[in-house]
A and B are shown apart, each in its own frame.
Chain A
Amino acid sequence: MSTQETVLPLARPEFKAQYENFIGGEWIAPTNGNYSENISPVDGQALTRIPKSSAEDIELAVSAATKAFESFKTTTVVERSLMLNKVADKIEANLERLAIAETLDNGKAVRETMAADLPLVVDHFRYFASVIRSESGMVADLDPETISQEVHEPLGVVAQIIPWNFPLLMAAWKLAPALAAGNCVVLKPAGPTPMSILLLMEVIQDVIPAGTINIVNGPGAVIGKVLSTHPDVKKVGFTGETTTGQLIMQYATENIIPSTLELGGKSPNVFFESIMDADDEFFDKAIEGLVLFAFNSGEVCTCPSRALIQESIYEPFMKRVLERVEAIKLGDPLNPTTMMGAQCSTNQKEKILDYIRIGKEEGAECLIGGEAYDNPAHPNGNYIKPTIFKGHNKMRIFQEEIFGPVLAVTTFKDEQEALEIANDTIFGLGSGVWSRDAHQLHSMSRGIEAGRVWVNCYHLYPSHASFGGYKKSGIGRETHMMMLNSYRHTKNILTSYNKNALGFF
């Protein structure tokens, strides 16, 4: 605990009193002149003022993006790759400032923004900068005189609507492939986290052509529909909840355009008895693997929010797990020693507390936590103690995504029951399997219905490993070069070198 006293919180950077929309390479005030306060969940204090935009601002942004696309679509992969690398370099050079801004905007601990969010953002731009240099279309000799070429062309202007749990990383996941493929973007940040992306734009605005990235902040009810249905928007990428996902797919039918959706999750994290065959570094890793439900204050679509533990090891394993949860240090999110920060908004905090109440009403046994955390550093912030419930998989706390540091634990007898419980959910985003038995790892990882199975690990998000959902967790795969094809057309050029007519007419 001595480090706690000696390590000071990181200093707050100066923010402008007011930010504008970023449209056509310029900082433009909202047409209606309206702004809202951006409140930090860390301490409940206003950080800055953010545009409360209207349909007119979306028109300006789509128009700027459309204009920019005229020249951006002709850029070479070399030029776009260099641009993305410059974006990455700029972000890297400003990493600490952006990480602190992200912490203040979202509430997550600065330890995470410094070590995970921002380094992953940087890497994501570099990944897409590199893959476009080494890919090519396809050519087929259909017969000696007929050649088929499959070439890629960007879609045009794309809309991206991002969530508040990883404001910068989710922006990077969407911006990097869209730009790499040659598109121009209109991006709507999430209401609770409008600021950090604007700081990022300040950092990179000199290395991207005007109009390639446009940022418009405002209420979804006012600007979401006009953006998603705009006839000049050629694709919508969205991360969020199921009903808005359905609505976006529905809006996409108006203009016959594609949409990709990353929706919720209720990810099973399955622990087999062999993890306790030895009390070694692997067992230590498995304990941490369960406690990762508290990563990002639990506000992760792939949060390992259901732990399935083989009943033969339940008691001794949970004993060790609870010791580790007990050791999670709450405190000032800006202090690098703080392990878990704030929830993203007051509403989110209240929602999590509501689920904790529902869990108790349903008869789940609260093993640790189960209440708000009164943070002496920030009495007006939104803090919850890491919480573990024991119950059964039909309970609502096992079926609904709480999006907070609340873990639902249950036990299973054997592999078959583990698989049944793991797949008894409407979602299929993440999952984890922990075992020393190679056959079990294989059969479980193939049996689980989810887009990502972490095997003897969890919460790793490297570029070049695809990410996306089965079932109601969405459509599309991010963080992999395959995402490029969802941001571009495939054009077939079919060439005949035969000088003779077909002979039909």
Chain B
Amino acid sequence: MSTQRLAVTKEAIKTIEKLKVLHGDLVFNQSGGCCDGSAPMCYEKGDFYVPSRNVKLGDICGCEFFISADQFEYFKHSHITLDCKDNFEGSNSFSLETAFERQFVSVSRIFTDEEYNNLEVQ
């Protein structure tokens, strides 16, 4: 079986399901830079225009998860687990979960050589 780039925690699933009820289909895009830059951003599908050259890392709970092509260059060796935490301090983003004092985070680790060799797209 080929290596998956993404995983999701139960906490993240709970928040995704809650957001789906309110907003319908969702999409994730890994951000970069500045204050909240390492966080994945969650929007209503169609509200965020996913840049056509972005790379799809996989699906989470039926939602596509993207990253920009140039960021993918240095993310390609990393496995990402989408987690969600409390965030009572707020953020600077428009990501949907921030309305509920929650925050999606991308927890990453570097693939082992064996995992990396089993990726469909390296």
Write the residues of chain A forming the contact surface with B, with a CB cutoff of 8 angstroms.
Answer: 36-37, 39, 41, 161-165, 190-192, 194, 219-222, 224-225, 239-244, 246-247, 250, 262-266, 299, 301, 344-348, 350-351, 354-355, 358, 361-362, 394-396, 399-403, 426-427, 472-473
Q: Are B110 and A361 in contact (CB under 8 A)?
A: yes
Given contacts A242-B37, A347-B89, A401-B33, A225 and B94 within 8 Å (CB-CB): yes
Complex: chain B residue closest to A190, CB-CB? B92
Contacts of A36 in B (CB 8 A): 88, 90, 101
B62 smallest CB distance to A (angstroms): 20
Contacts of A194 in B (CB 8 A): 90
Contacts of B108 in A (CB 8 A): 354, 358, 396
Given contacts A246-B51, A361-B109, A264 and B85 within 8 Å (CB-CB): no
**A170 CA to B34 CA in the complex, in Å?**
13
21 chain-A/chain-B pairs, Cβ below 8 angstroms: A163-B35, A164-B35, A190-B35, A190-B90, A191-B91, A191-B92, A191-B98, A219-B90, A219-B98, A221-B94, A221-B96, A224-B94, A240-B92, A241-B93, A242-B31, A266-B33, A301-B34, A347-B87, A351-B38, A354-B105, A426-B68
Write the residues of chain B forming the contact surface with A, with a CB cutoff of 8 angstroms.
Answer: 29-39, 41, 43, 47-49, 51, 68, 70-71, 74-75, 78, 85, 87-99, 101, 103, 105, 107-110
Most chain B C-beta atoms within 10 Å of own C-beta, residue among A344, A345, A350? A345
Contacts of A427 in B (CB 8 A): 33
Q: Are A401 and B98 in contact (CB under 8 A)?
A: no
Most chain A C-beta atoms within 10 Å of own C-beta, residue among B91, B95, B105? B91
Given contacts A225-B94, A399-B74, A426-B71, A346 and B34 within 8 Å (CB-CB): no
Contacts of B95 in A (CB 8 A): 220-221
**A162 CA to B41 CA in the complex, in Å?**
18
Contacts of A41 in B (CB 8 A): 89
Complex: chain A residue closest to B68, CB-CB? A242
Q: Are A241 and B88 in contact (CB under 8 A)?
A: no
Neighbour of A39 across the interface among B30, B88, B92, B107, CB < 8 A: B88
A348 smallest CB distance to B (angstroms): 8
Q: Are A164 and B32 in contact (CB under 8 A)?
A: no
Contacts of A192 in B (CB 8 A): 89-92
Contacts of A246 in B (CB 8 A): 48-49, 51
Contacts of B32 in A (CB 8 A): 241-243, 264, 400-401, 426, 472
Known: A39-B89, A472-B33. 14 other contacts (CB 8 A): A220-B92, A220-B93, A240-B34, A241-B34, A242-B34, A242-B68, A244-B31, A250-B48, A266-B33, A350-B105, A401-B38, A403-B37, A426-B68, A472-B32
B20 smallest CB distance to A (angstroms): 15
Contacts of B90 in A (CB 8 A): 36, 190-192, 194, 219
Given contacts A191-B98, A301-B33, A345 and B107 within 8 Å (CB-CB): no
Complex: chain A residue closest to B87, CB-CB? A347
Neighbour of B98 across the interface among A221, A344, A362, CB < 8 A: A221
Q: Are A240 and B89 in contact (CB under 8 A)?
A: no
Contacts of A244 in B (CB 8 A): 31, 36, 41, 92-94
**A239 CA to B39 CA in the complex, in Å?**
16
Given contacts A191-B89, A192-B89, A347-B105, A396 and B74 within 8 Å (CB-CB): yes
A458 smallest CB distance to B (angstroms): 19
Contacts of B103 in A (CB 8 A): 347
Neighbour of B29 across the interface among A240, A243, A401, CB < 8 A: A243
**A41 CA to B96 CA in the complex, in Å?**
24
Neighbour of B37 across the interface among A250, A354, A401, CB < 8 A: A401
Q: Are B35 and A165 in contact (CB under 8 A)?
A: yes
Contacts of B78 in A (CB 8 A): 358, 396
**A122 CA to B96 CA in the complex, in Å?**
36
Given contacts A36-B101, A345-B89, A264 and B33 within 8 Å (CB-CB): yes
Q: Are B98 and A220 in contact (CB under 8 A)?
A: yes
Complex: chain B residue closest to A238, CB-CB? B92
Neighbour of A351 across the interface among B47, B101, B105, CB < 8 A: B105
Complex: chain A residue closest to B51, CB-CB? A246
A164 smallest CB distance to B (angstroms): 6
Q: Are B85 and A347 in contact (CB under 8 A)?
A: yes
4 closest A-B pairs by beta carbon, nearest first, are A264-B33, A191-B90, A243-B31, A241-B37
Given contacts A221-B94, A225-B94, A394-B74, A242 and B33 within 8 Å (CB-CB): yes
Q: Are B33 and A263 in contact (CB under 8 A)?
A: yes
**A472 CA to B39 CA in the complex, in Å?**
17
Given contacts A191-B90, A191-B92, A347-B105, A221 and B35 within 8 Å (CB-CB): no
Q: Are B110 and A190 in contact (CB under 8 A)?
A: no
Contacts of B96 in A (CB 8 A): 221
**A393 CA to B35 CA in the complex, in Å?**
22
**A412 CA to B115 CA in the complex, in Å?**
32
Q: Are A241 and B33 in contact (CB under 8 A)?
A: yes
Contacts of B36 in A (CB 8 A): 240-241, 244
Contacts of B89 in A (CB 8 A): 39, 41, 191-192, 344-347
Contacts of B85 in A (CB 8 A): 347, 350
Most chain A C-beta atoms within 10 Å of own C-beta, residue among B35, B71, B85? B35
Q: Are A240 and B70 in contact (CB under 8 A)?
A: no
Q: Are B34 and A221 in contact (CB under 8 A)?
A: no
A134 smallest CB distance to B (angstroms): 33
